[in-house]
Amino acid sequence: MSTESTTIRWEQDRTGLVTLVIDDPNQSANTMNQAFRDSLAAVTDRLEAEKDSIRGVIITSAKKTFFAGGDLRDLIRVTPETAQELFDGGMAIKRNLRRIETLGKPVVAALNGAALGGGYEIALACHHRVALDAPGSKIGCPEVTLGLLPGGGGVVRTVRMLGIADALLKVLLQGTQYSPRRAQENGLVDDVAETREELLAKARAFIDANPESQQPWDKPGYRIPGGTPANPKFAANLPAFPATLRKQTGGAPYPAPRNILAAAVEGSQVDFETAQVIEARYFVDLAAGQTSKNMIQAFFFDLQAVNSGANRPKGVEPRQVRKVAVLGAGMMGAGIAYSCARAGIDVVLKDVSLESALEGKGYSEKLCAKAVSKGRTTQQKADALLARITPTAEAQDLAGCDAVIEAVFEDTSLKHKVFQEIQNVVAPDALLCSNTSTLPITALAEGVERQSDFIGLHFFSPVDKMPLVEIIKGERTGEEALARAFDLVRQINKTPIVVNDSRGFFTSRVIGHFINEGVAMVGEGIEPASVEQAAAQAGYPAKVLSLMDELTLTLPRKIRGETKRAVEEAGGTWTAHPAEAVIDRMVDEFGRTGRSGGAGFYDYGDDGKRTGLWQGLREHYTKPGYQIPFEDMKERMLFSEALDTVRLLEEGVLTSVADANIGSIFGIGFPGWTGGVLQYINGYDGGAGAGVGLPGFVARARELAERYGDRFTPPALLVDKAEKGERFSDSARG
């Protein structure tokens, strides 16, 4: 064994077959850290030195996964000053992988588990790839989802292996993570094995049959499959790619897809070595920029902190739910029942009549049929899932349920009534949850005997697709209930954030600011189509006026009425938002209440589909020729949400920065490029010239307050942090 290699073990048999086993002794997964780089250099030297006695090479790993990719702790710290270092380190890895690839001996990747990003790039440098069909094993290049590109030869080689179009669409631009079987179908791996023994046997068989392997691109006369821009026929299709990109990003500031496209196209027109340099430059450009830092922070570190239970009370034994009662089989209840049954929990789905309950179960039947027809599950598994859901109208059928999730109409006295009906039927210590989206949890808890077991569990629609659940702790909710609610959300494979009780909690309250801001702009006289455009370009997945229509214009009026009453009862004064007058006029004067009413900010056809923005908006609101800077329009939406999130931290409704970031992206569509609502402030790029980070954000908020109203005045907590040179982070977790 080479003394310099600490993370790659060299095993050689008598026939001259070398197996390189990647096994970082200091981490649970292999990453491209310094130790790996040094080890790769050492084994490459040895392979070249001992080449004559080597017949072939298998690369595999001793971990559960094959290789996890780049070390994100290193990458998030890259600055423009250290960018050259990153470039040099990256080029060193590429050079060594290239030396192995051109050794003149067959090299096979035996992927014993997930091979994502850098891991898949190692496999790409091999002449043959076999993957073990292990459960949950994933293969692909997800770098784009962290604002990066595969900088270890992934762009250069996928383009040469699959052609530009397939490399971009199947691997690079979406960052799709394939199961081993799907990876094979899409040409990412050559073969799949059922067992570890078969994996290694298949790798050896390739080596036996191909003693002098060479990559296709190193053979004379090689051409990139499907052509390159040098070919006029291919060039004619090229303009379609930027359009695809725009569709993917909505024109929002995601630099990674743009760099990936450039690296692929430019790299396809030059030799392999030059293409490697081009790829490295585009990679370093992304790694040194702010967007990749935002996305790594949110989609890796924050998500990990949230899911691993940084907020779960310590010392409470984990507990699994076996049988859950879902009260109300409407849109939300039906979706919750499906998600619980999918996770293996028995569900009793109760509604006012058996017919309604059966209809609720019908939703699961529809989803299962679809999953079977698409090959995502088997008929047997679908049948087992459906058998776990028992529809009923009888309270006594809930006997033995160890958790209750209520999803009946949004009405406090009705919710009190349904809990009273069942609280003595279910298990005596059952966890009691309400899926209310707006009603304060503390008041709802007053309807049950065991208030400490009562908690809010706010799901998002459609439940089967939306990954987030907002857990709301009422004043009398106990720590045990909080821990159990957390465990239940994890049990159904969703991401839990935890907030304290308050009207609208975190998500409903903050999204209200986004919508109000868009509506207010219409009221000021700005062209409605520009308002929609601004939301899209800021990176919001839904345009603001269309979202208002979906939620219905009567909902904010109802919430406003209740909130105003509560504020006034507490001796405060209500400050009207300029959106209120616009909404009141839409409803009272024009009778337009949103999509469900057939007319809102948009017109709708008989099929309920949008046909276009309502022309009356221009007649009644738009001031011809009136506009404000487009940057202001985008930032008014983003700032309104960010500023209110800081207020929620001040009020103690939110207690964790990671929860705020994750909740905003996964629950209410805050743009992913920002890294979430508080990371947006940390990473504020001073687009409008106000300066960067917290001080820049504060300066810009003051500017917006002067132009558009006091609601943009930065809260004291924000100003204080900016002055102290701090940023938003969960200090306990670093």
Positions marked active-site: 121, 143
Alpha helices (runs of H) in 125-227, residue ranges in sequence order: 154-162, 164-166, 180-185, 196-209
C-alpha to C-alpha distance for 621 and 422, rounded to whole angstroms: 51
Specify the residue, 334 or 579, whose C-beta has the smaller distance to ligand NAD: 334
Q: Tell me whether residue 562 is exposed, middle or buried, using C-beta atoms within 10 angstroms of its C-beta: 0 to 12, 13 to 18, 19 or more.
A: middle
Euclidean distance between CA atoms 311 and 220, whole angstroms = 59
Strand order in the sheet with 468-473: 389-392, 346-350, 323-327, 403-406, 431-434, 454-459, 468-473, 495-500
Least spacing, CB of residue 418 vs ligand NAD, in Å: 5
The minimum distance between CB 698 and ligand NAD, in angstroms, equals 34
* Cβ nearer to ligand NAD, comparing 337 with 699: 337
Please choose, from the candidates 303, 339, 376, the residue with its C-alpha nearest in 3D space to the C-alpha of residue 733.
303
Closer CB to ligand NAD, 254 or 459, in the complex:
459
Shortest spacing between CB 494 and ligand NAD, in angstroms: 13
Asked if residue 357 lies in contact with residue 389, where contact means CB atoms within 8 angstroms, the answer is: no
Backbone angles phi, psi at 56, to 5 degrees: 180, 170
If you count them, how many residues does the chain have? Answer: 734
Which H helix or E strand runs over 433? strand 431-434
Q: Which is nearer to ligand NAD, 230 or 352 (CB)?
A: 352
> What is the rounded (10 degree) CA torsion for 701, 702, 703, 708?
80
Q: Which is nearer to ligand NAD, 409 or 724 (CB)?
A: 409
Nearer to ligand NAD, 286 or 337 (CB): 337
**8-12 and 17-22 as β-strands: parallel, antiparallel, unpaired?**
antiparallel
CB nearer to ligand NAD: give 77 or 417.
417
Instruction: Answer for the pair 538, 639: CB distance below 8 angstroms, yes or no.
Output: no
Residues that bind ligand NAD (CB under 6 A): 327-333, 350-352, 356, 407-410, 414, 418, 435-437, 458-459, 461
Q: Looking at beta carbons only, is 420 or 493 nearer to ligand NAD?
A: 420
Least gap, CB of 420 to ligand NAD (angstroms): 10
Helix (H, G, I), strand (E, B) or coil at 333: helix
186 near 125, Cβ under 8 Å?
A: no
User: Whose structure tokens read 């935002």?
Assistant: 294
Max Cα–Cα distance, the chain, nearest Å: 88
Residues near 448 by beta carbon (within 8 Å), at least 6 away in sequence:
419, 420, 423, 432, 454
Give whichever of 436 and 477 is closer to ligand NAD, judged by the CB atom.
436
Write b or e for each residue in 29-61: b if 16 or more Cβ atoms lie within 10 A of its Cβ, otherwise e.
bbbbbebbbbbbbbbbebbeeeeeebbbbbbbb
Minimal distance, residue 633 CB to ligand NAD, in Å: 27
Q: Which residue is nearest to ligand NAD (CB)?
A: 330
The CA-atom distances, in angstroms, between 573 and each of 564, 566, 641, 649 are 8, 10, 22, 22
- Provide the token pair at 236: 């004619």
Q: Which amino acid is at 535?
A: A
Of 561 and 629, which CB lies nearer to ligand NAD in the complex structure?
A: 561
Q: 691: which residues sit within 8 A by CB, 6+ positions away?
A: 699, 700
The CB-of-335 to ligand NAD minimum distance in angstroms stands at: 8
- Residue 327 Cβ, how far from ligand NAD at the closest point, in Å? 5
> How far apart are CB 348 and ligand NAD at their closest, in Å?
12
d(Cα 93, Cα 387) in Å, to the nearest integer?
A: 52
CB of 61 to ligand NAD, least distance (A): 43
Query: Taking the complex as a whole, how short is the minimal distance between the CB of residue 508 and ligand NAD, in angstroms?
Result: 8
Among 345, 347, 351, residue whose Cα is nearest residue 329: 351
Instruction: Return all residues near 260 (Cβ < 8 A) that are at least 6 apart.
Output: 144, 149, 155, 168, 172, 173, 282
Q: How far is CA 567 from CA 107, 402, 440, 560, 571, in A?
A: 70, 37, 14, 10, 7
What's the min distance (Å) between Cβ of 407 and ligand NAD?
Answer: 4
Residue 683, both tokens? 């990473």
| DSSP one-letter code for 378 | -
Q: Which of 97, 117, 3 lies closest to 57, judged by CA?
A: 97
Nearer to ligand NAD, 461 or 611 (CB): 461
Confirm if 87 and 284 have CB atoms less than 8 A apart: yes
Q: Which is nearer to ligand NAD, 76 or 414 (CB)?
A: 414
Shortest spacing between CB 408 and ligand NAD, in angstroms: 4
Least separation in angstroms between residue 468's CB and ligand NAD is 11
Q: By CB neighbour count within 10 A (0-12 exposed, 13-18 middle, 19+ buried), where does 608 fall? A: exposed
* 49 versus 352: smaller Cβ distance to ligand NAD: 352
Q: How far apart, in whole angstroms, are the C-alpha atoms of residue 96 and residue 2?
A: 16
